[in-house]
Structure 1
Amino acid sequence: MKKHARMALAAVIALVVGLALASCTSDSSQDKENKRKQETYDHLVAEQPAVPMQYSPTRESINQWIKTWGKRGKLSYVYIQNAKGEYGYFIMKGLPVPRCKMLTPTERVETYSEGVAVLSQPGMDGTYTSGSTCNAYYGFDATTGAYMEFTVGTNQSFFLFDQPMTMPEYASAKQLGPSSVKDVEKKQ
């Protein structure tokens, strides 16, 4: 074998051995880091175990939400604040619904020999939706049943209550839908 060929072969072998060692080292370093994180976690859990809760305020709030909104005919008082800080309101039957909510699955999972794919499904109206519709809400007016839709986002917020608000900023809110607080009070 000629001198240049031997040097080239030696360089290739050195490169292969070097890469093999480097990969062992990086795997070894990663393994050490993972082991260190696990040891730290185990130590902290032993020294500071999670205390079991005797009571869950979160569960109580969820149950209260269900009791409040799980009634047929329950009204929503939706106050909208615009960029100028002005308020308006709608009164709706039930809760406002984000347009991205569906009654049917929005995705289906297909399994292939190469893996899994998550595929979009059309909605009940035969069309596809995107997450961009989640800032649009709809519902129906409390006394007329008229369809209403509004969006929130840039410089506009909404506040939802299960009864009319009397605080000053809400008391002067402009009626935005067909029903007024007085209309609803007469009907009840």
Structure 2
Amino acid sequence: MKQPIRMALATVVALAVGLGLTSCTDSSQDKEAQAKQENYDHLVAQQPAGRMEYSPTREAINQWVETWGKRGKLSYVYIQNAKGEYGYFIMKGLPVPRCKMLTPTERVEDHVVLPQPGMDGTYTTGSTCGAYYGFDATTNAYMEFTVGTNQSFFLFDKPMTMPEYASAKQMGPTSVKDVEKKQP
């Protein structure tokens, strides 16, 4: 037998033995994962997922795309503080969570997830997902706000006329009246 063929055969045998040994020495985690998969397979066989004739979720997503997928669309952000008081911003497009990036924030190397620097050359942990930013509808001023413990925000694609929103205080440079003046 020629040398390259012997080496290839030896490699195949070594791989087969290695795989055989690996399966004999499954870790307890491997056994637990296998048990979980077998249980899932059993449950799916006993209770297969039903089929829907129509998806209201897909319809809602498509309507969201239709609403927000246009350049120049304004968003009306109403913020409620701990006292129940409302204020509002009018922004170009949707508010963006600060943890959103245009570049990958991680890469996988040798089955290990490694963090990558963001556009500003620094690393982030995603802890800024409660901070949102955007740009004012008429002045293009940068605006940022946070939500969390006693503060919520409500997002609409048009001004709200319900009493709690109608009495909201203007918090950014643009008012509802400013926007109404610009519309034909």
Instruction: Please confirm whether the aligned pair reaches a TM-score higher than 0.5, indicating the same fold.
Output: yes
Aligned partners of 1:135, 1:96: CA distance in 2, in Å?
Answer: 11
Match of 1:157 among 138, 152, 156: 152
Per the TM alignment, residue 70 of structure 1 is displaced from its structure 2 partner at its CA by: 0.1
Per-residue displacement from partner, 1:127-178 (whole Å, max 9, x unpaired)? 1112221100000000000000000001000000000000000000000000
For residues 133-172 of structure 1, the aligned pairs below 5 Å read: 133-172=128-167
Per the TM alignment, residue 74 of structure 1 is displaced from its structure 2 partner at its CA by: 0.2
Q: Which residue of 2 aligns with 1:93?
A: 92
Are positions 1:107 and 2:106 aligned together? yes
Unaligned runs of 5+ in 2: 1-27
TM-score after normalising by structure 1: 0.75
Aligned partners of 1:40, 1:106: CA distance in 2, in Å?
Answer: 32
Identity over aligned residues, as a percent? 82
Structure 1 letter corresponding to 2:57? T
Per the TM alignment, residue 85 of structure 1 is displaced from its structure 2 partner at its CA by: 0.3
Aligned partners of 1:148, 1:40: CA distance in 2, in Å?
Answer: 47
Q: Which has more helix, going by share of residues?
A: 1
Larger Rg: 1
Secondary structure at the residue paired with 2:127? helix
CA RMSD of superposed structures (Å): 2.3
Are positions 1:123 and 2:118 aligned together? yes
Q: Which residue of 2 aligns with 1:70?
A: 69
Secondary structure at the residue paired with 1:160? strand
Aligned residues: 153
Aligned partners of 2:172, 2:39: CA distance in 1, in Å?
Answer: 60
Q: Deviation above 3 Å: which 4+ runs of structure 1?
A: 37-42, 44-49
Per the TM alignment, residue 40 of structure 1 is displaced from its structure 2 partner at its CA by: 9.4
Unaligned runs of 5+ in 1: 1-26
Aligned partners of 2:133, 2:108: CA distance in 1, in Å?
Answer: 29
Structure 2 letter corresponding to 1:135? G
Aligned partners of 1:98, 1:49: CA distance in 2, in Å?
Answer: 37
Are positions 1:182 and 2:177 aligned together? yes
TM-score after normalising by structure 2: 0.76
Q: Which residue of 2 aligns with 1:9?
A: none
Q: Which residue of 2 aligns with 1:6?
A: none
Per the TM alignment, residue 41 of structure 1 is displaced from its structure 2 partner at its CA by: 6.7
Aligned partners of 2:71, 2:39: CA distance in 1, in Å?
Answer: 53
